Amino acid sequence: MTRLFGTDGVRGLANEKLTASLALRLGAAAAVVLTKDRRSHKRRPTAIIGRDPRVSGEMLAAALSAGLASRGVDVLRVGVLPTPGVAFLTDDYGADLGVMISASHNPMPDNGIKFFSAGGHKLPDDVENEIEETMQDLQEQGPTGTSIGRIIEEAPDARSRYLSHLADAMQTDLSGIHVVVDTANGAASAVAPLAYEAAGAQVTPIHNRPDSYNINDNCGSTHIEQIQQAVVEYGADLGLAHDGDADRCLAVDAEGNVVDGDQIMAILAVALNEDNDLRHSTLVATVMSNLGLRLAMEREGIKVIDTKVGDRYVLEELNRGGYDLGGEQSGHVVFSEYATTGDGTLTGLHLMKRMATTGKSLAELADVMTVLPQVLINVPVSDKSIILSNDDVISCRAAAEEELGDAGRVLLRPSGTEEIFRVMVEAADEEQARKVAGRIAAVAAAV
């Protein structure tokens, strides 16, 4: 059977794959699994539900609420808030679980459901598997009478609690910094500009008028060219681009040059390390992070630990090792002291904090690392599981690594969702990276 959960919750075309009936059963099963160890408490279990503005979120929130309540869980709906806001509120309200309804950077017709356990933590694979199994065996009859859960339609203080949390994590005056923020007509359309203004920045928001249909529509972190143009047009010091659920942040300097997640992590890792706030002088990144990040961190005396691709694996490593900072090239950045997941608004605040405390421009700060050319080729194959062990691929890879030496890198990995084999090559010269990647891709395609 195909696994329901992907790398970040359950996602698909709303009302086709991701239907109201599926959401209802998913909510009921999650209630059983995520509250089974807390049923002995005197109070009824509680769940927090938040969503991004896309139109299908209203339908799915209603279905999830019904599913949870049908298994004796009280539901507190917090409305439109970023994913990290829902994770924070799950902990802040002392809830037993949290649910975020969002398909992140995907287009409007898609949607997704992601769960948080008590404390606002993402679920490990084994717990997601248990929820799927429970869905198959779920009994029609749930609790009755006074044991049915209640649904509170709106938490009036949810937004203010999250904004207070962001302010507490900041503690720096950003007066004099002019920022353009692209909220992708998404979950951060209200809170991100408010958080930046509360810290003292001059804020020019764009794409901050969600109408339930325009989320991620030619805007946000997946359409960075919009904020590149806006920063130059408004003469701002920087731009910050979020995705639909605002767990990502990409930046643009005053000249309109993109500062990606790797560069942001480099800037913030150096800042924390200088203040002795980077535990074990270690940064956690995925294998897809640019070699330039690793070289820069080595120069700064900071160790880099690699994980598999996906912010959930970054989070697991942060928790395992007790580290402070980690993230992905895509702009997911996690400050473990303040958040249990990537928080794009928090990332933007700390990036501007570094500008304010050093008096340097974003371009000057980004010079801490040199981004090496990175070429990625997706190779359709009949059986991705055999490519890495193929003798021809092994020989070709070895020759490539010898050619590149310490100035380059080869990464080969199968896709987690498709019959595709990914070939990634980094080198000091882009043409060399393309040639090397092309040679390996051709060998893999012939297997």
Q: Taking residues 362-370, what's their average pLDDT?
A: 97
CA distance 263 to 269: 10
CA distance 76 to 151: 6
CA distance 180 to 250: 12
Place of tokens 């002995």: 40
Alpha helices for 215-260 (secondary structure H): 225-234
Structure tokens at 33: 């699994």
Residue 97 pLDDT greater than 80, yes or no: yes
Is 104 in the active site? yes
Burial string for 269-286 (b: 16+ CB within 10 Å, else e) reads bbbbbeeeebbebbbbbb
359 Rama sector, left if φ>0, alpha if ψ -120 to 50, beta otherwise: left
Task: Say if residues 424 and 411 touch (Cβ distance below 8 Å).
Answer: yes
- pLDDT tens for each residue of 385-399: 899 999 999 999 999
Strand partners, 363: none
Strand boundaries in 217-348, DSSP class E: 238-241, 250-253, 258-259, 282-286, 303-307, 325-327, 333-335
Instruction: Give the per-residue pLDDT at 8.
Output: 83
Q: Name the phi and psi angles at 259, rounded to 5.
A: -115, 105
Strand partners, 251: 240, 259
| Highest-scoring range by mean pLDDT, 32-41, 195-204, 401-410 | 195-204
Q: What is the pTM of this model?
A: 0.91
Instruction: Give the per-residue pLDDT at 3.
Output: 83
Strand partners, 49: 77, 99
Q: SS3 of 380, please?
A: strand
Instruction: Give the per-residue pLDDT at 286.
Output: 94
Mean pLDDT (the chain, rounded): 95
How long is the chain? 447
Q: Which helix (H) or strand (E) is 163 found in, with range?
A: helix 158-168
Residue 267 pLDDT greater than 90, yes or no: yes
CA distance 413 to 227: 32
Domains 10-156 and 169-366 share a fold: yes
Place of tokens 């992708």: 184
Query: The domain 169-366 is classified under which CATH number: 3.30.360.10, 3.40.50.720, 3.40.120.10, 1.10.357.10?
Result: 3.40.120.10
- The alpha carbon dihedral of 284, 286, 289, 291 has a sign of positive
CA distance 434 to 147: 62
- pLDDT tens for each residue of 116-166: 999 999 999 899 999 999 999 898 889 999 999 999 988 999 999 999 999
Instruction: Give the per-residue pLDDT at 102.
Output: 97
Instruction: Provide the CATH topology of domain 374-445.
Output: TATA-Binding Protein (3.30.310)
Q: Taking residues 84-108, what's their average pLDDT?
A: 97
DSSP 86-134: HHHHHHHTT-SEEEEE--TTS-TTEEEEEEEETTTEEPPHHHHHHHHHH
CA distance 126 to 129: 5
Structure tokens at 88: 């924070």
Which residue is catalytic, options 56, 65, 102, 104? Answer: 104
Residue 203 pLDDT greater than 80, yes or no: yes
- pLDDT tens for each residue of 66-81: 999 999 999 999 999 9
Q: How far is CA 100 from the centre of its chain?
A: 12
Residues marked as binding for Mg(2+)? 104, 243, 245, 247
Q: Which helix (H) or strand (E) is 28 found in, with range?
A: helix 20-34
294 Rama sector, left if φ>0, alpha if ψ -120 to 50, beta otherwise: alpha
Domain ranges of the chain: 10-156, 169-366, 374-445
Residue 1 pLDDT greater than 80, yes or no: no
Least confidently predicted of 84-88, 105-109, 152-156, 268-272 = 152-156
Q: Taking residues 253-264, what's their average pLDDT?
A: 97
Instruction: Provide the CATH topology of domain 10-156.
Output: Alpha-D-Glucose-1,6-Bisphosphate; Chain A, domain 3 (3.40.120)
